Amino acid sequence: MQTSLRHVLGAVLRDRLLQFLLLAGVILACFTSSPLRDYPHWIDWPTITTLLGLLLLTKSVEMSGYFDWLGRKMMARLSNERTLALFMVVASALLSTFLTNDVALFIVVPLTITLKKLSALPVTRLIIFEALAVNVGSLLTPIGNPQNILLWNHSGLSFSAFIGQMLPLSGVLLFLLLLFTLMFFPNKTIRPLADRQDSSRKRGLLLACAVLYGVFLVSVDLGLPYLGLLIVLVALLCLSPKVILLVDWALIFIFMAMFIDVKLLTQLPALLPLTENMQHLSTFGTYTIGILLSQVISNVPATILLLGFIPATTTLAYAVNIGGFGFALGSMANLIALRMANEKRIWLTFHLFSIPALIISAALGWWLI
């Protein structure tokens, strides 16, 4: 157990992205006057708690062996590479409209990784398209992603009116994404790898996860995420303690560091004149700052910051959602997908697709406003 803990701690400390964020935080702290004791208060602990609970439950389902079982079923029915890619992209987009983009990724990415064990499918490219798909799908509804929840609460629009506002952008982007999926995934039969024995399945663990998942989501919805996480932790300690060590703890610390870095960034004296002038921005200025700020501090913090100065207009909604494309930092969902993929080369490949997606989306979004 002690060896396992040292292994987990070593993996966390060796994470390059976490190292970068910690270094950035130290540099930013040199230019601000906030005491160190304030830093923990800047972290959105309910968000961190929700993320940890979802990571634990997803890893538990993976260890139950049922992702492997479902992957085999899908391979039997969808043996064509293009058909499978279209199915996963559409599923990602649809799930994200009502489960939120992050939760949708916790379902589709582990399943996609399982497909890699069974075939020669280009999983790296497929995970990238799934990340793009959840950003496209989630922008449609008020509950599809955190920034839309914030915008909806400030807009005064009804549920259906908000969807009507976002439908043109979501519809056009989904059409283009499906078109690009047809282009980048060939119409050929998926080549299965050497036949493997069907992995053992733990039905009890899967059923427990299903119950825990419901309990956890209800707890989060009721504003009791800490209680929900406690229930999940206690249950997994009894059912499968190994899960707790296998969670991507570095991702948890990355999100914590991001909250602190964003707060430090907004306190820089050099940025104070910029924030004071935000309420006088033109429509184009609002659109541009929403997209660019999302690239620097991610679209959820950008939304929180901008809503302090700018009303929740269609322009702002389009801008921060489009800002989820481009750099991986643009959307928390991007970071989750790329971290779960656990492949070094995927970061570069992601930007080869996502940056053009940002340029195209930004042009289309401005045309639609």
At 353-367, the pLDDT tens digits run: 999 999 999 999 999
Identify the pLDDT of residue 66: 66
Q: What is the C-alpha to C-alpha distance for residues 111 and 88, in angstroms, rounded to an integer? A: 10
Which residues lie below 8 Å from residue 215, measured CB to CB, with a gap of 6+?
Answer: 228, 231, 232
- Name the token pair of 256: 């914590």
Each residue's pLDDT tens digit, 144-161:
888 887 788 778 888 888
Burial class (CB in 10 A: 0-12, 13-18, 19+), 85: buried
Q: What is the C-alpha to C-alpha distance for residues 20 and 15, in angstroms, rounded to an integer? A: 9
- Name the token pair of 177: 């994404």
Identify the pLDDT of residue 208: 85
Which residues lie below 8 Å from residue 174, measured CB to CB, with a gap of 6+?
Answer: 93, 133, 136, 137
Identify the pLDDT of residue 5: 66
Identify the pLDDT of residue 150: 79
Identify the pLDDT of residue 283: 86
Q: What is the C-alpha to C-alpha distance for residues 224 and 312, in angstroms, rounded to an integer? A: 28
Written as tens digits, the pLDDT of the chain (369 aa) is 555 566 567 666 777 778 888 898 899 888 888 888 999 998 878 878 887 887 888 788 777 776 666 666 766 676 788 888 898 899 889 888 877 788 788 788 888 887 777 666 778 899 999 999 999 999 998 878 888 877 887 788 888 889 999 999 999 999 999 999 999 988 887 766 555 555 577 777 778 888 988 888 788 778 788 999 999 999 988 888 888 888 878 878 887 888 888 788 878 887 766 666 676 778 898 899 999 999 988 888 888 778 878 888 899 999 999 999 999 989 988 988 998 887 878 999 999 999 999 999 999 999 998
Torsion sign across C-alpha atoms 140, 77, 125, 14: positive
Identify the pLDDT of residue 67: 63
Identify the pLDDT of residue 54: 79
What three-state secondary structure class fits 189? strand
Which residues lie below 8 Å from residue 179, measured CB to CB, with a gap of 6+?
Answer: none
* DSSP line for 246-290: HS-HHHHHHHHHHHHHHHHHHT-GGGHHHHHTGGG--HHHHHHHH
Burial class (CB in 10 A: 0-12, 13-18, 19+), 78: middle
Tokens 């940025």 found at: 271
Identify the pLDDT of residue 8: 63
